[in-house]
Amino acid sequence: MQGTDRRSLLAGAAALVAGGDLLGFAKAWAQSSEWKPEPGASLSLLRWKRFIPSEDEAFLKMVDAFTQATGVKITVSNESYDDIQPKASVAANTGQGPDMVWGLFSFPALFPDKCLQLEDVAESLAKKYGPWFPSAEAYGKVKGKWIAIPVAFNGGYPNYRISAMKKAGFEKFPTDTAGFLELCRGLKKNNTPAGFALGHATGDGNTWCHWALWSHGGNLVDANEKIVINSPETAKALEYVKSLYETFVPGTVSWNDSSNNKAFLAGDLYLTNNGISIYAAAKKDNPKLAEDMDHAVWPVGPVGKPTEFQLAFPILAFKYSKAPNACKAFIAFLMEASNYNPWLEQAQGYLCQPLSNYPKNPIWTADPKNAVFAEAGRRSLAAGGLAPVSERIAAVLADFVVVDMFASHCTGREDVKGAIKNAERAAQRIFRNT
């Protein structure tokens, strides 16, 4: 009978959200929640700085509704992609700081023993909306234990100007790496260049460089975490990216995660990798540019299958938090479909779901140019490539080992052998010290 009452409450809560009553939903949800916040609890959350204003507004409305329904005050602070991991590491090491951190990729794996175990939250969500996509589960678990909840993925896909692509001789975006290179060469010839970050851009740099490595069959480590970066496949990937780099707009070796957005919107760049934020900004401020934009999945390389590396957004709670139940309640509340789907819609395609059976979201069909971003979680590999996500894998990613390998060769600082050797040494150093 209790289960029936709970289901009835949740059904009623969903109807409230559909009617626009977020607070009513939150109150009904709180009554039936598996996690009861500690009396007088308050929480602080550090999250990545938003790229889509409407997403941030919708998120803060959820936070406010949770506070009113449970009495738990949540203070939200924002940092850039690149600053989240260092601040989280300091908090983990000192035992002081935010109760929860919502960041990127595999950062919770840098300090798994400091994270609150979240198996109960993950299993509850999987029963309702699962299963988890394999890449999502990989980011949530370390050594088989859930230490974070992968809230969403950000699809980082090729963003391009349709007119420039056609002028370069392509009616459709190329589906293989050879065609992709020819497109970039054609764009450069027409003075409508491409550009991809080769600086320490946590999102844009890491994602496309791993795609390039994996698409040619290269890997940093194998399934047993043996370092295998020194391979003919890696050499081919380096040579390929050097050829791409020769077509790029100047300055990509110093780009951060906002550099390509600015260049594209300014009309200085015609092909880059990014989330949907460029398109969302163009629709708002430059409709003519938006009309000339489209998106595509990453081309397939010599390995013959997709090798995408998409941006994941896991949220963790620290063991030192004085309100672990409140942390779990908030994370579960955030992921409830009746709550999650309207927020996802307000993200305008910048974020997509990590579980396979959420209700279909209208954002993916409202505009055909959004559709590709819905597949990011399903298509993505996790940070380890062949290997499980671990503290070592997270450290390699945080230290930009793969990005620096490509950048050093593209800029002429190292030949192929030197670039690979430096990456191998950097990986060996990390694997010895973690």
Write out pLDDT tens, residues 289-306: 999 999 999 999 999 999
The CATH number of the domain where 245 resides is what?
3.40.190.10
Angle at 27 between CA 26 and CA 33, to 5 degrees: 80
Same domain, 126 and 230: no
Same domain, 172 and 74: no
Same domain, 145 and 234: no
Same domain, 361 and 214: no
Is residue 393 one of the residues assigned to a domain? no
Same domain, 31 and 67: yes
Same domain, 140 and 26: yes
Residue 113 in this model has a pLDDT that exceeds 50: yes
């392509």: which residue's tokens?
Answer: 170
Same domain, 149 and 54: yes
Q: Taking residues 85-91, what's their average pLDDT?
A: 95
Is residue 8 one of the residues assigned to a domain? no
Give the pLDDT band of residue 328 (cuts 50, 70, 90): very high
What's the chain's average pLDDT? 93
Residue 7 in this model has a pLDDT that exceeds 60: no
Local structure of 22: helix, strand or coil: helix
Q: Taking residues 397-415, what's their average pLDDT?
A: 97
Q: Taking residues 103-107, what's their average pLDDT?
A: 92
Contact 26, 65 (CB under 8 A): yes
């999502």: which residue's tokens?
Answer: 136
CA-to-CA distance for 32 and 128, rounded, in angstroms?
15
Residue-level pLDDT at 190: 98
Residue 231 in this model has a pLDDT that exceeds 90: yes
Residue-level pLDDT at 434: 62
Same domain, 197 and 324: no
Is residue 280 one of the residues assigned to a domain? yes
Same domain, 299 and 342: no
pLDDT tens readout for residues 144-165: 999 999 999 999 999 999 999 9
Residue-level pLDDT at 82: 82
For 71-80, 244-253, 260-269, 383-392, which range has the lowest pLDDT when averaged over its residues?
A: 383-392
Residue-level pLDDT at 9: 43
Residue 4 in this model has a pLDDT that exceeds 90: no
Same domain, 98 and 205: no
Is residue 231 one of the residues assigned to a domain? yes
- As for how many domains the chain has, the answer is 2
Residue-level pLDDT at 18: 45
Residue 99 is part of which domain span? 18-155+310-379
Is residue 389 one of the residues assigned to a domain? no
Contacts of 113 (CB under 8 A, 6+ apart): none
Contacts of 157 (CB under 8 A, 6+ apart): 273, 274, 275, 295, 296, 297, 298, 372, 373, 376
Give the pLDDT band of residue 121 (cuts 50, 70, 90): very high
Contacts of 194 (CB under 8 A, 6+ apart): 183, 184, 187, 188, 244, 247, 248, 249, 269, 270, 271, 272
Residue 262 in this model has a pLDDT that exceeds 60: yes
What percent of the chain is predicted at pLDDT more than 90? 89
Q: Taking residues 182-200, what's their average pLDDT?
A: 98
Residue 12 in this model has a pLDDT that exceeds 90: no
Same domain, 330 and 357: yes
